[in-house]
Structure 1
Amino acid sequence: MAEFTVNFAIETLGSLLVQETKLLRSVKKEVESIKRELEIIRSFLRDADTRAIAEEEGESNGGVVSTWAKQVREEAYHIEDVIDEYIFNEAKHHEHDGKGLTVFLHKMCCFMNEIKVRHGISSEIKDIKSSLVDIQRRAEHYNLRHIDQGDVVPHDSQVGSFFIQDAEVVGIESTIDQLIGLAVSGTSNRSVVGLVGKGGLGKTTLAGKIYKNDTVKKHFDCQAWITVGKECTKMDILRKTIQEFDRVTGFTHGEMDKMEENDMLTALDRQLKDKCYIVVFDDVWKTDFWGYIEYALIENNKGSRIILTTRNRGIVDLIPFVNVHRLQPLPSDKAFELFCRKAFGPQGCCSPNLEKISHDILKKCGGLPLAIVAVGGLLSNKNKVAFEWKKLLDNLGSQLGSNSHLKDCNKVLLEGYYGLPHHLKSCLLYFGFFPESYSINCARLIRLWIAEGFVPYSKRRTSEQLLKNS
């Protein structure tokens, strides 16, 4: 999260260097140096965010990386304060432009004060630079990786979604039957099914139900499930695919770490050339994914099937002749049915005194099965009284980061945040300024985003058009 603060500081420094011609020469050099230091530190932040999340979940000890990211954020705020003070004093200096003895004497007084202020700012800038050097040195000490391109997110394989019980599947039963029919019948050509939708809609659950279906298992000679995630490279995907098919076909390979790409393609060709196979690629992020596997998985006219799940419709749009199934939030009746099963047990009977508050809670869940299951499970252990449930409803946002029942929801939100381009991350975090459940006018919100500088300038399109196309 500190990356947003650092990015804003870098942009502010860049704007100051471009627009302000009256910086003291020594200060200008220091500002340029600070900007360069921040750009280097920013490249460590993506890895730091990954490590910090792992620390919060208890996967590593000490919290040193979280502390480091906090120090970076505080230094970025300090930079903003110094810049604001400098700009404020510059504005005061030009406030009394004009002629006359009084104006002249006032300007001389301001000039003397300005020298003191600039000297103080110069001293603060030197202190900032020294702090940033120390921060960068500590990043290297903690073995944070230098990442220039892309974000790294700790990937949640969503194993729980894969093994979800049939009794908890609500609202996608007909889709499951439709996709099973598509998998076991139809064309003998290799075909691709893309399951598309935002995090928490049940893409992994749906793919898992198809993959584990008895009819599907009997129809195909071999199956493979590959969890992709955002950090997977082409070689990672090929290696995982070979290993999965090795497990079910009986083929064995040597040390795959030493295999070149052509060796891997040859191995997959040998594994699958006479097989009717089905393979699921779960949680695909990269737009060039199809280029990774198009020639790796042989087209042998055996009726093979490829299923992929993704949040990004643009990924499946690049695949020829793909069958796209876009998952939607559960309608209110299905959402209530699933909620009742989780909150009240298999019979799913909601008492009349809790019905209204239950629907209010469901509005917060937005039809997302993951959120409904998580909140319903949390409420199943609470007293069935409206006061207790109202208290949870009022504090639902604050409990996302602290309650173990809601940990999966928090992970989905984090993955969605890290998947956004930089300027949209800023836009999303801006919602933190508004109270919970506050109604925000869309046009006003866009103007606020533009005023904050969250939207990049373009000669060809307005800021509003840039936001709509993001």
Structure 2
Amino acid sequence: MAEGAVNSVIQILSSLLVQEIKLLGNAKQGVEDIKNELESIRSFLKDADTRAAQEGETGGNEGVKTWVKQLREQAFRIEDAIDEYTMKAARLPHGRGLVSYLLKACYFIKILKLRHGIATEINDIKRSLAEIQRRGEIYNFKYIDQGSGSGGGNVIPHDSRVDAIFIEDAEVVGIDSTKEKLIDLLVKGTSNIRSVIAVVGEGGLGKTTLAGKIYNNDAVKKHFDCQAWLTVGKEYLKKDLLRKILRELYHSTGLGSQLGKKIMEEKDFIMKLREHLKDKCYMIVFDDVWKIKFWRDVEHALLDNQKNSRVMLTTRNKAVAEFIPFSIVHVHMLEPLSSEKGWELFCRKAFGSVGCCPPNLIELSERVVGKCGGLPLAIAAIGGLLSRKNKIVSKWRNMLDSLGSKLSSDSHLSDCKRVLSEGYYDLPHHLKSCLLYFGVFPEGYEIRFGRLIRLWIAEGFV
């Protein structure tokens, strides 16, 4: 969130300088210095914010979190100082004539005090920012990426998406018809051209689980000569992605040792992939695609060999699918579970194989399923959490009332936290602020959009 705060302050300072408010002596230069300082610090922030979030699941590095927190506080301090100064400056009398001149003369001492105060505050903020930047340069976040040469080695976080691929059929609800439809598209396509199936939906809908069930289906395995599964994520290097595709395809055809450790360029990987795929009916799944122009990075490597080959990808962003040529892509929008299927999944998770909700808990259970909005991940996580509690209304109610605090501490909800965090950190900085602003309203409060937009404008978010 520090990146959003700093971007907002830079915009305010830029506007302030354009308006040429008459600051005392070196105060105007101080504002320019702060703006320049923040712009140089901003280069750290995207990385720092993202890494602090990624490390949150395992406790994270407190140095990074503290650094981001201190910078955010200074950004808010700058904003407050500028707001206070501009508000007081706006009260100064304007106009012509003797009366106006006398009023200005009376205010002269107050004006000097005001300008001296903002100059002092700016200098103090400059010193604080310089110290924060110095600490940032000392950290430089290098220890996050350093390998075993630094002494401790890398800590590789657990990828919960792997679990989603191998969920047992008995634990999956509401995807059978969609699964069969997409399998038909994969193995019974009317055209021999290489085509793409894009599964699109918000986080927590079960895109990875659905793709995993299709990927491991016996009919699908028999139909294709080779298969590969790759989790893409937000950031990747094109050459590394091509290397992973080649490695997975080699392994699936028993040629794993042929890749070797030879240093290869991007063009070499593309040529090897095309050569390997030229006579094969292949299927490749790209899970969790974020980059809109992803298809441009892989299309030339995935040869269209007229052998009914298929590519499947999962993404939250429909624009990813829309970037692929319309003639070769089928977009499937994954919908939330119906209330009936949501109830079925919740009962399985909360009450075991019997799946029968006790009468005294029906009202609370229905409330839980309604709040989950048909998201299988949320339903399964909260159902699993409640399965450990005694079937007593008061205990369940206390648990549900404290869900917010448990989101960051309970292992059953860690996947929900990850999904929420990924969506939040992918937003532009001004939308992060807009989203967080909903936290000032009580739960269940009716928010009128006109008032909300005016509040956002007052805060400077939009």
What does 1:48-447 align with in structure 2 at a 5 Å threshold? 48-58=48-58, 60-61=60-61, 63-94=62-93, 107-144=104-141, 158-186=161-189, 187-251=191-255, 252-255=258-261, 258-320=263-325, 321-447=328-454
CA 1:215–1:59 in 2, change beyond 3 Å: closer, same or farther? farther
Higher relative contact order (CA 8 A, sep 6+): 2
Give the 3-state SS of the residue equivalent to 1:330 in structure 2. Answer: coil
SS at match of 1:158: helix
Please list the CA deviations of residues 21-45 of structure 1 after superposition, one character each: whole Å capped at 9, or x if unmatched: 3122411111011011112212211
Aligned-pair CA distance for 1:98: 7.3
Q: Residues 93 and 111 of structure 1 are in contact (CA less than 8 Å); yes or no, is this contact kept in structure 2?
A: no
Q: How far apart are the structure 1 equivalents of 2:334 and 2:197?
A: 13
Distance in 1 between the 2:160 and 2:41 partners? 29
What is the root-mean-square deviation in Å for CA atoms of aligned residues?
Answer: 2.0
- In the TM superposition, residue 405 of structure 1 has moved relative to its aligned partner by 1.3
Equivalent residue of 1:188, what SS? Answer: coil
Q: Distance in 2 between matches of 1:125 and 1:166?
A: 62
Give the Cα–Cα distance (whole angstroms) in 1 for the partners of residues 52 and 324 of structure 2.
Answer: 36
Letter in 2 for 1:185: K
CA contact (8 A) 2:53 2:421 kept: no
Aligned residue number for residue 464 of structure 1: none
User: Structure 2: which 5+ runs fail to align?
Assistant: 143-156
**1:174: how far off?**
0.8
Q: Which runs of 5+ in 1 are unaligned?
A: 146-153, 456-470
What are the Cα deviations for residues 45-100 of structure 1, in whole angstroms up to 9, with x where unaligned?
12112332344323655x111010111011111111211221232133338x6766
Distance in 2 between residues matched to 1:80 and 1:446, nearest whole Å: 20
Confirm or deny: 8 A CA contact 1:155 1:230 kept in the other structure: no
Q: Which residue of 1 aligns with 2:32?
A: 32
Could you tell me the TM-score, scaled by structure 2's length?
Answer: 0.91
Alpha-carbon distance in structure 1 between the residues aligned to 2:237 and 2:196: 21
Deviation by residue 1:329-360 (Cα, 9 ceiling, x = unmatched): 11101000000000000121101111111111
Cα displacement (A) at 1:180: 1.4
Structure 1 position 112, deviation (Å):
0.9
Report the Cα distance in structure 2 between the residues aligned to 1:325 and 1:156, rounded to whole angstroms. 25
The 3 A distance-change label for structure 1 pair 415 and 443 is same
Partner of 2:148: none
Amino acid at match of 1:400: L
SS of residue paired to 1:427: helix
Matched positions, count: 443
2:22 corresponds to which letter in structure 1?
A: K
Q: What is the letter of the counterpart of residue 107 of structure 2?
A: C
